[in-house]
Structure 1
């Protein structure tokens, strides 16, 4: 196990200040190896003593040993990347489909191991009971958020995607209350704007759950439930498969709360769409 993996394993047992150090170590290993404990503390916005206490919490003798551990991690990653590239070059083109799809299957299986059954059941019930569902996802996460929005709109009323526009954000937040649900999609490094929205929603007693690519994502401070898919080292293309599988499962969990209700909504929706298309066809022929 790498040192960074060990940090993730112990993350929940660290103090709030030490968690900030842990997050910084995971996200910026190169800076840790080239800066002093005092400089790292200033970059994070905490005291040097908190950085040192983090080292002790990780059973290290001090900051120097932390740097040595990180350097060892980085060296191991470089060796792993070289080996991985060598393997990729040897894969024959005719085996590319099975290679990619098997990797997706492995990612989904890995995601399953990190899903908490109690949290999954709770999130499914929230999706069913919420009067309004708001979907938040910016930058590379926006397409995934859009797909989730359109899927849920086909199953229930009052589903809205928050756009990255100040006026729209203000309007949506003002409409939220304790009967609302905010789903945060953060499959890449989360923007400060998204954190602010989640914080404001949490302050309004809105139920919040998030799907991220890192168990150490700062969104965890504002989300009661956190699901992790993929990892920060994976591209968004690799992460999206696990995300889609998880959301499919959550939606099935939501439908299971009252299958007849969702089937009726879909049927009514289909009739409206069919009638709309018929009217459009008639107009085009006139």
Structure 2
């Protein structure tokens, strides 16, 4: 299976027909894409030793409408390929220490706005209906996406009958948990750059067994979409070694709320049963802080009050 970046594919396919100057640009991008993504057409031409017009023609030769569209493809390549150390260097070169908090929060706000503007509402509704009609729901997310998968699984379990949070410690363990997946089931795969091959293989396995596949990822070009007909796109970004997954979490929240709205009676009944169980087994009796006037009252007997 070929999951090579789209831009690199285009360069490989057209390389033999490129001019001498365009080949120099192609070689530079292959070697230094992390630097190329942040250059203007004029600056790239200066670095490589060709004219600005050669850079623009190179972009159109690869099939892009112009340099801005080509640069977006370069940024996609950077998000996919940069390792953690390179990410940190790129970020530290952009943000001064005093601006970190405001810059990161503003970046997250922008990612949510971009996601709102571009997400397909019909696809979102399709995802909701697919989950509601599934016999069993599997959720898989690895590394930094694991908390998203865990969060979604936790709430799906309160809404739906049969939910499986796939344990992802090893590939063999993933397949063992998916062994009974079938066409009446759905798998939700969550992956953002750097993409997880284990998640992709899980989606491939499920697709081959005719299960429905929903993906939550960052781009229509994401390899996660190879096996999915229901692609939820949420913008992510890199901040130092940290993956910004605020927008994806908002989409997960929206899914949960939409599902709750569709199954209000069942969800209320489930929560009422849980409250009874929690009271009966004193689940929270020794783990709650009760506010009493201006002091804190500890629920556990014998604890000190302040």
TM-score (norm 2): 0.64
Report what 1:271 is aligned to.
276
Report what 1:104 is aligned to.
108
Identify the range of structure 1 (219-228 vs 267-276) with the bigger mean alpha-carbon deviation: 267-276
Alignment map for 1:147-186 (pairs within 5 Å): 147-164=151-168, 165-166=170-171, 168-186=173-191
8 Å Cα contact 1:104-1:238 kept in structure 2: no
Report what 2:6 is aligned to.
22
CA deviation string 1:122-167 (max 9, x = no partner): 0011122222110111222222211211122233331111112455
Identify the range of structure 1 (272-281 vs 241-250) with the bigger mean alpha-carbon deviation: 272-281
Identify the range of structure 1 (107-116 vs 165-174) with the bigger mean alpha-carbon deviation: 165-174
Report what 1:65 is aligned to.
22
Report what 2:135 is aligned to.
131
2:204 alignment partner, SS class: helix
Q: CA deviation at 1:218?
A: 1.4
Segments of structure 1 that go 5 or more residues without pairing to the other structure are 1-15, 27-31, 38-50
Report what 2:54 is aligned to.
none
Q: Confirm whether residue 191 of structure 1 aligns to residue 196 of structure 2.
A: yes
Q: CA deviation at 1:176?
A: 1.2
CA deviation string 1:82-137 (max 9, x = no partner): 99757622745xxx544432321111011112211110100011122222110111
Length, aligned pairs only = 237
Report what 1:77 is aligned to.
38
Q: Distance in 1 between matches of 2:211 and 2:160?
A: 19
1:154 alignment partner, SS class: helix
Report what 1:140 is aligned to.
144
Report what 1:226 is aligned to.
231
1:246 alignment partner, SS class: helix
Q: Distance in 1 between matches of 2:98 and 2:5?
A: 40
Report what 2:251 is aligned to.
246
TM-score (norm 1): 0.68
8 Å Cα contact 2:237-2:243 kept in structure 1: no
CA deviation string 1:234-281 (max 9, x = no partner): 567453211110111111121222222222222222322332226997
CA deviation string 1:207-234 (max 9, x = no partner): 1111113332212111111222234655
2:235 alignment partner, SS class: coil
8 Å Cα contact 2:186-2:212 kept in structure 1: yes
Query: Using a 3 Å threshold, how does the CA distance of structure 1 residues 75 and 154 change in structure 2: closer, same or farther?
Result: same
Q: Distance in 2 between matches of 1:85 and 1:206?
A: 43
2:281 alignment partner, SS class: helix
The answer to which structure has the higher helix fraction is 1
2:224 alignment partner, SS class: helix
Q: Distance in 1 between matches of 2:174 and 2:268?
A: 32
CA deviation string 1:11-56 (max 9, x = no partner): xxxxx98x85616469xxxxx7xxxx4xxxxxxxxxxxxx12xx79
Report what 2:95 is aligned to.
88
Q: CA deviation at 1:180?
A: 1.0
Q: Distance in 1 between matches of 2:157 and 2:131?
A: 12
Segments of structure 2 that go 5 or more residues without pairing to the other structure are 41-74, 76-86, 287-299, 302-306
Q: CA deviation at 1:189?
A: 2.4
Which of these two proteins has the greater Rg computed from alpha carbons? 2
